[in-house]
Structure 1
């Protein structure tokens, strides 16, 4: 009898391990405690005669003087101000896992040839190399004990093993007493108790968790024994570090071993299905990006710890590093300790010097975010579950009846035949193709869920094919692993197996996925992977993958591998190829190449709304700009005020989807009645008005890695007041957004950084003053401000979907700064295909200065305008209105002309209201170069 599991209970802390319950975490923390005891000296030394420098790589050998185990290291000096450090055993008993790079990097990074060798094996026993165009970057490898410093202008930026935490547990045989890890006193035993332990007890404690580990009755066999790696990485002079999602913590990361308001456990990176997650916690969630960004006034730096095994990170801060920066006062520094259960040390250092440089450096290594289809950045309506085909039609009609635009309606697991993906419950959804075409005629799309588990059913073709191809994950005994998820007894294809990837990609072809059409897109859930019967509700670590690798080595990239196959399947199903849309819950380094992610199973509470901002900001600066949080909260029933505030906030976040649990009350935008329906309608419409602005930001993110929503410190890198600010943020560099996250708020404090002019986005009124300003709050909107110096493109005609706006004219909002200047961009393409990669798009630069407003092309030289298919088919799209804010000298007349028809100048009609000038119907096309002159 097959039992179908429908509900998982809410999260319980006892379901997930702490550091104290994790043997390799205990060992590495204890090693760090020993290293800071005062007399400890790291046993890892460079064997000086092995040093070699060639083609931008410094290589050599290390020896652990305590057990005489040898290691090899390589330091790659990369182009683009980056450094890579790799350390592995020289003669391991068997290969250690080193395949993360094949999944996360788009190519092997190139080494720079712009370097100069300095002192080699000098009296201080170090090797030094200067690099960069000006040779102002330097790497120093100290031989005894081994540690590394990266410097810019002789100022340390990042250091490795300065605190002596480097710990590499070599592979060993269980019965070899010489190769046991050194005995360490466990944190829960005080010194007095340790003294009276018998030798037998000490031996027993030493062995605990090395070769077998148990949690909640689940045994991890650990056939390779202890194999963890650890390293301390410090950021001298940096008081703030950010990144390492996914956690429900502050934007500026808290300390984990002391510090005000800090945590007791390290931050954990281990992808897990966490039901109703807690807030303000370092515990693991659905995704893992081992990327950390450090920032201070005048400098930014970052590291990427390229390891897909379970990883923990400790953070401590100090204020005793005296004025090496030359400021004459104590400078805060951040010290981090990284340790993973297995694999090798493969860490990248990005030396900036600015945050935008780092985003580009990281993206050039791991890939930039994929440019989505244009519908994907509209509003999505989802629920677990819409009941049947009639329910879908009624919800779709409800949006039209209430004049609310939307682009995508979603179906959760209940649309399938018995939780078998790629199938339909024919009683509920008798004609899925007609259902999709009915919404498709309105320019809308549908998303269905496809999870990585496969129901064990010999009559289910997906199961039968996967079994026959022998692409299923095996248990430690070599049998197909049986786990429990939504269908009950399930198997899990091995997405790291190329044969599984090839097979799964083909499943999305229209003749393979019965009932699918070009209007259908995909949602990958439960891909951590979620295994209800497994340890910590996930897969056992001793499962066996392709080429014999244990699951423990690659756990955090498993969900991304599934995401990659799904994305490629949608690309391949059409000819010519169309861009995919695949939402994933699990993510890792490189996931941005395959589609958006979301923050999982949040709750309909005010604090969860507040937490969405730092969570999404953190994910964005860690390489995944396209992310969102379930609007309204997945669990629970939001009161109308909370729902309105969440819609208003979600409209200014990259992925905008309303979603709800199966047990919640229905909450489509019109069900709460007036005035709430109008408030929500207005919020969603604001999203659609700004779609050209959003799409332009997505295009730029796909080429330079810039996050779409940006922490304040990214926009104002020298303003220390912004470094820990997380309750407001920028969309691009132009829109300042302050979400309202408390019930009954009638005012809020907004911080206006710098000396810029700001304008209320809705009323265009100037905001007087700088710094913290208290502003009134109304229920119909949240505070949003245009930053002076910005030009924002908008489309202001209300339509039912983004596709219906395809040929609409544009309104340009020009918000002048104190100098009377402003700039902006607009990117357009067909929103669907890959023709933009061949140069078929419109990319405009707008500039207002000295009383002239110009539009010039940013298109590259791939194709000329008369050969540009997108321009040829959209050349008559007009500008219908230009609104200039903050103009000092009101014009007597305004003239406009195309730059190639300068003799054909036309006087334009305009209206003046205080310091606002509105030009109506300037009779200019968006695709042409033109100039507008203001005559005083």
Structure 2
């Protein structure tokens, strides 16, 4: 029976609050509890007073009931909501165990005493003996004697002594002490259990549910025992857990389906003996990936000992029941469930007695929002450890951890498993895999590692966040914030298991219900993506080892002369002197500062690489970055508190800044500022920041043994392989805890430094990332190979990082390692031109692959694709603004626009740019077409010529049809100049154009965000303009949402899929010179040439030429295929 605390209304004589609990709930309290026994007596009398009123209510005449002014209506504690009681305002019950002289009702019982327990008993057996008073006629006379008068006091005392002697003798002889009275009381309050055994079998559980209800906070302090004395008593108890017989366990195990097995022995080398020792099931199978050793149902690793709740969440204490098999078990764990908003909640599970490491990033402001219409409720069942999260709209359990696998909480191994509402799981990276995760017993590790991307290995980033999409499109997400190395297991239940080797389990759940909303809720928590400078959306060109400033200049000029749209020139570490940060080679790169000024003079920008490793200087005062670092004490230390010395690219040895040190940011700003005075760079490329170390230990030393009871399935034999030792010392914690955070800490310092140096928006691209990194920088996919498979696999990673809140994402176009080919680079440029971060980069021992170097075919394809990208940059920029202010994605999977269309869920060889532009790249060697899916209900058009392509169809597209636009959008454009170099500096000054693409209802919408493209806080300081566009039938209009920065004028409007045009009106005036319009019968395009200022609203209307037996609404191509959906 649920324990529902209740506080009666106060009357003049009721000056205390009482908690109403069930009898067995009180008796199941800990022996160490200091609960007032008299309160229990009072509570039980109080409840039975109500029950007595309930019984007698039906016997009361209707008139009496209605005229009883000294009664108040109460709601039944356990009965139906419609049942009420009448409470008398007089003192109708015996408070604090006193006999009530007015009613003659005696106290029901006076206390409980602990019952001894043997080693074989379980936590489910009753832990107390009950006793009650036998009150006879003599006692009642004694209770009434004070009213007789002082003259009868002596007689009363004599009678009392006689009655006491008789009671003691009777109790000793009978041995029952009122047991019959207790039995009747028990039968009265528990009629459903009269014929049931009082002690249930060890494996049976009596469910008791806790539902979060924001409108009913009566569950506050449901269980007593929050005092320190209770905690100490509970800790001193010996852990007792069900000791099931082998036959019983075997019977339970045989009934469990394979897909419901959760691994009980993930270390490997499991055997039946060790498995059974953990209380788990053993059963071999021929199915690959299915565990032999698995948890049975009702596997009690912990049990609840205390729970409180308020309007912001629950706090639950759990005590260890059985040893986990891993050292350092948490004896008492705490689970905090916090309702952060109507769409987001936190479940934090940690050691209740000892402080443990928690990542300082991402910075999360834990300020719960007011709750109005929550999309979830949380169920806590006191007989199972764990929780359920239920979606309120349809009562679907989206996450269930109750009696699922084993909750393991120990010093260096923490595990939690859950059954999910869908097997369509996305996210969980960084990894090389398809976008929709394989849930067929798939285990992958997350631990930042310098390794060229391949399948089934841990890569550069750690993002333990997934998006689950159900068959009807409803979605949710869950994030684990934990920076230690971990494994994640997906299985076909569908289920997920998180296993990490340190920290705590800090889970956040996002309710959506659409995929877009899940990502927006996620980025609201971990940090919105940074607003990039406009120039960073242009094309970037780089190479490892140009070798000299002269070669860098030659490649830069050759691509400009070839008409390749181009904005940013990069240099890799070859520009440095001896590969040391904050230096440049005065021989091979003499004149580098002058070259950077030349780049700036052409309206372009320059980015340098900065590795975190600082060269160790053996000669004092010869390399300031090292000398200042030693002086400021900001380098990572080894186990003996000496500077940790490794080896990376530097000619000598390498030391590593500790970016958690209080002086580290000042040091980094100082170094970057001093170098910027020499070479005025515009952005930073931070590489090798997993961090990478070419030796697996300190130079001349060794790492301490990694005595972890569980090693995640990383690609290396040790965690310290190719990085720092796990016992290396940072200011904040050991590297064991901080490894995955290293890049984020570096990015924060770099972001701050660039802001201070340039006074403009920072631009940072990083190889390693962690949760929330998108707030500071972007990412590229690392050292991929120049082959067709690697080009294909850049798409799933691009989509995954959109989920992770890092929209500034791309890959090395044409590949990094090995030689590319003309065909591969052509196709890759046609694809990479539409990556949010678009850069061509390759290694030093491969042939040049910049567009101008590979011949006219590659140069021509690159020029055409990049010109279209530059034309779309106002659209891209507006998408990045939306990502920055409300968490939208820039690039997204097809199903984001129609999540209920299940056939779109596994498509990852196409992608959307915003809601209206779709890319269908050619990805196969020798192919001249690509098969694309064009989802209903809207029509799709070729963005180049406006021709109708398809609707609700899968079809082949040529290389001139790989970019399509969906009906319903209005796309802002800026056409590059037809001849000469193309940069964002040039295109930003060009007039704006609108491409209007009606949907099947002849409606469309779009928007434009515009600012100066480089200033910090333009949006926050209102130095921007925001304009919305709306098409309704044959009328197009604009509305100025905010005007704070000048926007180029509008000179062209193109409306797709129109019948023959009769006339055009602009702002209610006929379109006459300089206004003009043209109509093409074959393409059915209406083009209107105008000269409109966008600082005020405009309106454009047109009419059609009449056509017999026709209506303008019947002119939509593919209409018949759409009628059944919307018309």
TM range (shorter): 0.7 to 0.9
In the alignment, is the contact (CA less than 8 A) between 1:44 and 1:144 conserved in 2?
A: no
The alignment yields a C-alpha RMSD, in angstroms, of 2.3
**Residues 814 and 113 (structure 1), Cα distance of their counterparts in 2 relative to 1, 3 Å cut:** closer
Partner residue, 2:381: 142
Which of 343, 353, 361 is the equivalent residue of 1:91?
353
Alpha-carbon distance between aligned partners in 2 of 1:579 and 1:251, rounded to the nearest angstrom: 31
In the alignment, is the contact (CA less than 8 A) between 2:428 and 2:466 conserved in 1?
A: yes
In the alignment, is the contact (CA less than 8 A) between 2:280 and 2:295 conserved in 1?
A: no
**Deviation at 1:399?**
2.0
Alpha-carbon distance between aligned partners in 1 of 2:646 and 2:1006, rounded to the nearest angstrom: 53
Partner residue, 1:286: 460
In the alignment, is the contact (CA less than 8 A) between 2:682 and 2:763 conserved in 1?
A: no
Partner residue, 2:134: none
Residue 420 of structure 2 is aligned to residue 420 of structure 1: no
Residue 826 of structure 2 is aligned to residue 631 of structure 1: no
**Residues 156 and 395 (structure 1), Cα distance of their counterparts in 2 relative to 1, 3 Å cut:** same
Alpha-carbon distance between aligned partners in 1 of 2:1089 and 2:552, rounded to the nearest angstrom: 40
In the alignment, is the contact (CA less than 8 A) between 1:626 and 1:655 conserved in 2?
A: yes
Residue 928 of structure 2 is aligned to residue 746 of structure 1: yes
Residue 660 of structure 2 is aligned to residue 496 of structure 1: yes
Alpha-carbon distance between aligned partners in 1 of 2:269 and 2:1065, rounded to the nearest angstrom: 73
Partner residue, 1:373: 533
In the alignment, is the contact (CA less than 8 A) between 1:820 and 1:887 conserved in 2?
A: no
In the alignment, is the contact (CA less than 8 A) between 1:231 and 1:337 conserved in 2?
A: yes
**Deviation at 1:26?**
8.1
Partner residue, 2:769: 587
Alpha-carbon distance between aligned partners in 2 of 1:292 and 1:761, rounded to the nearest angstrom: 33
Alpha-carbon distance between aligned partners in 1 of 2:896 and 2:456, rounded to the nearest angstrom: 24
Which of 389, 392, 397 is the equivalent residue of 1:156?
397
Alpha-carbon distance between aligned partners in 2 of 1:830 and 1:34, rounded to the nearest angstrom: 65
Residue 577 of structure 2 is aligned to residue 317 of structure 1: no
Cα distance per residue 1:394-429 (max 9 Å; x no partner)? 122112221112111111111011111111101122
Written as runs of structure 1 = structure 2, the 5 A alignment for 1:433-472 is 433-457=593-617, 458=620, 459-472=622-635
**Residues 39 and 909 (structure 1), Cα distance of their counterparts in 2 relative to 1, 3 Å cut:** closer
**Residues 417 and 892 (structure 1), Cα distance of their counterparts in 2 relative to 1, 3 Å cut:** same
Alpha-carbon distance between aligned partners in 2 of 1:25 and 1:450, rounded to the nearest angstrom: 41
Which of 1075, 1080, 1094 is the equivalent residue of 1:913?
1080
Residue 1063 of structure 2 is aligned to residue 893 of structure 1: yes
**Residues 80 and 371 (structure 1), Cα distance of their counterparts in 2 relative to 1, 3 Å cut:** farther
The DSSP-based 3-state class of the residue aligned with 2:1095 is coil
**Deviation at 1:23?**
8.7
Cα distance per residue 1:336-355 (max 9 Å; x no partner)? 00011100111101111111
Deviates most, 147-156 or 607-616 = 147-156
Residue 842 of structure 2 is aligned to residue 842 of structure 1: no
**TM-score, normalised with respect to structure 2:** 0.67
**Deviation at 1:886?**
0.9
In the alignment, is the contact (CA less than 8 A) between 1:788 and 1:816 conserved in 2?
A: yes
**Deviation at 1:771?**
2.6
Partner residue, 1:327: none
Which of 691, 694, 715 is the equivalent residue of 1:532?
694
**Deviation at 1:432?**
2.6
Alpha-carbon distance between aligned partners in 2 of 1:136 and 1:847, rounded to the nearest angstrom: 32
Cα distance per residue 1:580-601 (max 9 Å; x no partner)? 1111000011110111100000
Alpha-carbon distance between aligned partners in 2 of 1:24 and 1:584, rounded to the nearest angstrom: 33
Name the structure with the higher strand share.
Answer: 1
In the alignment, is the contact (CA less than 8 A) between 1:46 and 1:60 conserved in 2?
A: no
**Deviation at 1:612?**
0.4
Residue 683 of structure 2 is aligned to residue 521 of structure 1: yes
Partner residue, 1:295: 469
The DSSP-based 3-state class of the residue aligned with 2:790 is helix
Partner residue, 2:742: 558
Partner residue, 2:344: 82
Partner residue, 1:218: none
In the alignment, is the contact (CA less than 8 A) between 2:971 and 2:995 conserved in 1?
A: yes
**Deviation at 1:38?**
6.0
Cα distance per residue 1:7-53 (max 9 Å; x no partner)? xxxxxxxxxxxxx9x996889998897597464533344434x2111
Partner residue, 1:233: 418
Partner residue, 2:139: none
In the alignment, is the contact (CA less than 8 A) between 1:473 and 1:480 conserved in 2?
A: yes
**Residues 374 and 456 (structure 1), Cα distance of their counterparts in 2 relative to 1, 3 Å cut:** same
In the alignment, is the contact (CA less than 8 A) between 2:564 and 2:859 conserved in 1?
A: no
Residue 586 of structure 2 is aligned to residue 402 of structure 1: no
Gaps of 5+ in 2: 1-262, 283-292, 324-329, 697-719, 1105-1127
Gaps of 5+ in 1: 1-19, 115-132, 171-226, 258-262, 319-333, 860-864
Partner residue, 2:854: 672
Alpha-carbon distance between aligned partners in 1 of 2:294 and 2:825, rounded to the nearest angstrom: 52
Which of 93, 103, 107 is the equivalent residue of 2:361?
103
Alpha-carbon distance between aligned partners in 1 of 2:1071 and 2:734, rounded to the nearest angstrom: 72
Alpha-carbon distance between aligned partners in 2 of 1:303 and 1:159, rounded to the nearest angstrom: 12
Partner residue, 2:963: 784
**CA radius of gyration, larger in:** 2
Alpha-carbon distance between aligned partners in 1 of 2:828 and 2:552, rounded to the nearest angstrom: 23
**Deviation at 1:858?**
2.6
The DSSP-based 3-state class of the residue aligned with 2:807 is coil
The DSSP-based 3-state class of the residue aligned with 1:616 is helix
Alpha-carbon distance between aligned partners in 2 of 1:503 and 1:704, rounded to the nearest angstrom: 34
Residue 857 of structure 2 is aligned to residue 694 of structure 1: no
**Deviation at 1:678?**
1.0
Alpha-carbon distance between aligned partners in 2 of 1:311 and 1:33, rounded to the nearest angstrom: 23
Which of 942, 945, 952 is the equivalent residue of 1:760?
942
Partner residue, 1:922: 1090
Alpha-carbon distance between aligned partners in 1 of 2:341 and 2:830, rounded to the nearest angstrom: 42
**Residues 769 and 353 (structure 1), Cα distance of their counterparts in 2 relative to 1, 3 Å cut:** closer
Partner residue, 1:934: 1102
Once superposed, which parts of structure 1, at least 4 consecutive aligned residues long, lie more than 6 Å away? 22-33, 902-907
Alpha-carbon distance between aligned partners in 2 of 1:144 and 1:246, rounded to the nearest angstrom: 37
Alpha-carbon distance between aligned partners in 2 of 1:393 and 1:503, rounded to the nearest angstrom: 32
**Residues 32 and 337 (structure 1), Cα distance of their counterparts in 2 relative to 1, 3 Å cut:** farther
Higher relative contact order (CA 8 A, sep 6+): 1
Cα distance per residue 1:419-468 (max 9 Å; x no partner)? 11111101122233211110101111111111111111142111111111
Alpha-carbon distance between aligned partners in 2 of 1:381 and 1:404, rounded to the nearest angstrom: 11
Written as runs of structure 1 = structure 2, the 5 A alignment for 1:539-618 is 539-547=724-732, 549-574=733-758, 577-618=759-800
In the alignment, is the contact (CA less than 8 A) between 1:544 and 1:551 conserved in 2?
A: yes
Alpha-carbon distance between aligned partners in 2 of 1:752 and 1:494, rounded to the nearest angstrom: 50
Cα distance per residue 1:736-772 (max 9 Å; x no partner)? 1111111111332211111211101222111244231
Cα distance per residue 1:757-808 (max 9 Å; x no partner)? 1101222111244231233x24xx4611110111111111234211122211
In the alignment, is the contact (CA less than 8 A) between 1:367 and 1:590 conserved in 2?
A: yes
The DSSP-based 3-state class of the residue aligned with 1:485 is coil
Cα distance per residue 1:485-510 (max 9 Å; x no partner)? 0114111111122321232123222x
In the alignment, is the contact (CA less than 8 A) between 1:894 and 1:935 conserved in 2?
A: yes
In the alignment, is the contact (CA less than 8 A) between 1:162 and 1:232 conserved in 2?
A: no
Alpha-carbon distance between aligned partners in 1 of 2:522 and 2:267, rounded to the nearest angstrom: 29
Deviates most, 64-73 or 227-236 = 64-73
Alpha-carbon distance between aligned partners in 2 of 1:76 and 1:644, rounded to the nearest angstrom: 52
Aligned residues: 785
**Residues 494 and 450 (structure 1), Cα distance of their counterparts in 2 relative to 1, 3 Å cut:** same
**TM-score, normalised with respect to structure 1:** 0.81
The DSSP-based 3-state class of the residue aligned with 1:522 is strand
